[in-house]
Structure 1
């Protein structure tokens, strides 16, 4: 079956998309200029041939390890987790043995101490992902794991380290040069939330035996038409990423400032977290944007769906489905009469029925909804989805008049945290901290 977008319930009659659709020529010109200048490697993937060679060279090396500990945060971790959950679910199931991916994506002393105590050093490769090499949440854990490996493995410690960082500069690049640690680059102009189909996400995928070529092939099918030097407005207008972008921008004009990502492919639920960073960090600028809300079918029918259907009318929905999921076991034939409607039916049919019911109910409740229906739940389809949503996000940002590739607001919190740890400089931030910490507080017990 084909991969399709179903626009039936997108509320197109209530949205003014024409003003955005008429900018197709402008957006096509901008895409051509940006891709030609090398500023959108997410779409052009100029690094692909070299990356494939590097991954192939890593294959035998990774085969010697049973555990991979990935040190990364945000875009350095969310894509890898989504791929693991979708295509290597056995790790989370009873009785698993063999390869295991562990992701240290927080400043969590409990988890870090567990990794130090329980992972066998001789069977573990530690992968540190930081483009800048200065992300303290990640590099701080690297320091601790480096010491752990040195104590346990002696001179062989560096053979158990793999760094994914800038090709030329930064602290981690210095570690590569000093200790001869294996390393793969994060391409220039490739932000973390757009980086899952680079070494950032594909090294963990390769380790777990996920079909890396299929992921890349799927992405190419969606991205390649957008990366043409001679892209026309007519071609762009026909592309689903631009159509989603026009919808996304028009929704905000009508006050739909929340975007639900409802995944009715249970194993793909973590793509909701990946999408949340992509959408929020790209579009939350200058008082604009819409809040992404990850949701999992059918789990969230019984939790937050009440708000979706009967709360404030400010929500739109991307609804992810696949009609060809496993059928599962059959319900027994001797069920009580009150459950007779499922007698002898495949368990998997219940998920499809629940998804259909929820789509209809959301539409009836006034929630604009576009269904993304995948022909199958394979790595190729995942690559297509990643490219589609990434391109749609970039184009939505441009239509909104903001830069979807930076994240200026998050830097303040980082500077204040460094000031709290008494980093050099940052005198203004230290003064702000002192004022904040000495101000009178309204504190109440509970």
Structure 2
């Protein structure tokens, strides 16, 4: 399987504008830097290639237990601790049902809405529950508050049995949550110390919730393994992840400020959110970086399509498309033909959607918007695992081309600190 990011898929952009020789040399240097063994932030690059049978066996064992003893798994987390799992779960779960073949998995701790928390408590009152709290440190306010609530809920509902129904995914050695888990006797999965949150979906952070939800995590990881092998090449011509990174960088240097990730499948909406965090936190430093945003077509063509077509020339578009979606529906024939659509009778919605994608790409490119098209064969576990690794490898290279650290997020600490200061001031006033 090849991810197709080819010259024929780059619309409305003169590739001769790019100094490929310069980028080839630079990418090889940055590739060598990225692959040095002394990094403590790139474990995600190597883990798909390692023997993880023991870890996967334990994940499957716990997931099976949860599916037998619970109706719902509550995942407590924010940012990279929930976005990846929710993205894959939503992409592969049939519409209008809560799960694929496992039990229902829901998320909390990604906001501080009292209405959301109360609504979830009301929703689970007659259900059998497990909780998986995910945090490397345990000190992030949103999930810490949610865990306080649902830890108490589980203890009130289950008594001593709550200890077995609360599972902690946290740092292997340090942190507040690690200490809480050890003191309380909760079972623990480790977040590798050399993997940051937004790169962690292919670790127990994402794999346990996904296994509970009925996602085939072995196939997901096989897709990532294929990508890790394919994108290990240092030469730009042989590495499509690096080619995508260079295209983004070249567009950015020529004045484009925004990258719009778009797709024509509503199931990918949460995947867009994972992508936005990945690139936003990795690149947005030192007054640098593209602003990552997303749209779900054709829905959003009826809201921001006008701006994309004829608005300020600040953005380029990355159009993500899967050629095969497992479920489809045919347009029926109607003898009345009052809507004049019988010419589409017998064609499927997915076929029409694919044509809409091509028409939209052509219209946007003719309107002056560069369009990068990423196309994969099928929306399934294997191809999603492949795509996740593709984006992570491309993101790391993109940030290095900007000369920023792909793996830290110093700006995030600024708002956390300010919120804490204000909350403590309010307590003093009272």
Q: Give the alignment's TM-score, normalised by structure 2.
A: 0.91
Name the counterpart of 2:65.
61
Matched, 1:158 2:163: yes
Q: Please list the CA deviations of residues 304-337 of structure 1 after superposition, one character each: whole Å capped at 9, or x if unmatched.
A: 1211111111211111112222431332242226
Q: Please list the CA deviations of residues 257-311 of structure 1 after superposition, one character each: whole Å capped at 9, or x if unmatched.
A: 1111101233122111111111111111111111111111211111112111111
Matched residue SS, 1:5: coil
Residues 247 and 110 of structure 1: CA distance in aligned 2, closer, same or farther (over 3 Å): same
1: CA distance, partners of 2:176 / 2:99: 40
Matched, 1:24 2:31: no
Superposed displacement of residue 401, structure 1: 0.8
Name the counterpart of 2:249.
249
Superposed displacement of residue 47, structure 1: 8.0
2: CA distance, partners of 1:401 / 1:28: 13
| Aligned residues: CA RMSD | 2.4
Superposed displacement of residue 238, structure 1: 1.1
Name the counterpart of 1:400.
402
Q: Of the candidates 103, 107, 116, which is equivalent to residue 112 of structure 2?
A: 107
Q: Of the candidates 158, 167, 192, which is equivalent to residue 187 of structure 1?
A: 192
Name the counterpart of 2:152.
147
Note if contact 2:264-2:357 (Cα within 8 Å) is conserved in structure 1: yes
Residues 337 and 265 of structure 1: CA distance in aligned 2, closer, same or farther (over 3 Å): closer
Q: Show structure 2 runs of 5+ residues with no match.
A: none
Note if contact 1:315-1:367 (Cα within 8 Å) is conserved in structure 2: yes
1: CA distance, partners of 2:195 / 2:98: 37
Note if contact 1:330-1:346 (Cα within 8 Å) is conserved in structure 2: yes
Superposed displacement of residue 127, structure 1: 1.0
2: CA distance, partners of 1:221 / 1:315: 31
Residues 370 and 388 of structure 1: CA distance in aligned 2, closer, same or farther (over 3 Å): same
Q: Of the candidates 168, 177, 186, which is equivalent to residue 182 of structure 2?
A: 177
Mapping for residues 432-443 of structure 1, pairs under 5 Å: none
Residues 327 and 142 of structure 1: CA distance in aligned 2, closer, same or farther (over 3 Å): closer
Note if contact 1:266-1:296 (Cα within 8 Å) is conserved in structure 2: yes
Aligned residues: 419
Q: Show structure 1 runs of 5+ residues with no match.
A: 423-429, 438-446
Q: Please list the CA deviations of residues 312-370 of structure 1 after superposition, one character each: whole Å capped at 9, or x if unmatched.
A: 11211111112222431332242226323323322222211211111111111122222
Name the counterpart of 1:331.
332
Shifted more, 37-46 versus 259-268: the winner is 37-46
Q: Give the alignment's TM-score, normalised by structure 1.
A: 0.88
Q: Of the candidates 217, 235, 241, which is equivalent to residue 212 of structure 1?
A: 217
Residues 364 and 182 of structure 1: CA distance in aligned 2, closer, same or farther (over 3 Å): same
Superposed displacement of residue 71, structure 1: 0.8
Name the counterpart of 1:4.
4
Matched, 1:294 2:297: no
Mapping for residues 214-363 of structure 1, pairs under 5 Å: 214-226=219-231, 233-234=234-235, 236-325=236-325, 326-334=327-335, 335-336=337-338, 338-363=340-365
Q: Please list the CA deviations of residues 383-418 of structure 1 after superposition, one character each: whole Å capped at 9, or x if unmatched.
A: 111101111010011111111111111111101111
1: CA distance, partners of 2:152 / 2:403: 47
Superposed displacement of residue 28, structure 1: 2.6
Superposed displacement of residue 120, structure 1: 3.9
Superposed displacement of residue 60, structure 1: 2.5
Note if contact 2:228-2:389 (Cα within 8 Å) is conserved in structure 1: yes
Note if contact 2:99-2:214 (Cα within 8 Å) is conserved in structure 1: no
Note if contact 2:41-2:196 (Cα within 8 Å) is conserved in structure 1: no
1: CA distance, partners of 2:182 / 2:330: 54
Residues 256 and 17 of structure 1: CA distance in aligned 2, closer, same or farther (over 3 Å): farther
Residues 39 and 342 of structure 1: CA distance in aligned 2, closer, same or farther (over 3 Å): same
2: CA distance, partners of 1:106 / 1:372: 32
Residues 17 and 245 of structure 1: CA distance in aligned 2, closer, same or farther (over 3 Å): farther
1: CA distance, partners of 2:323 / 2:77: 34
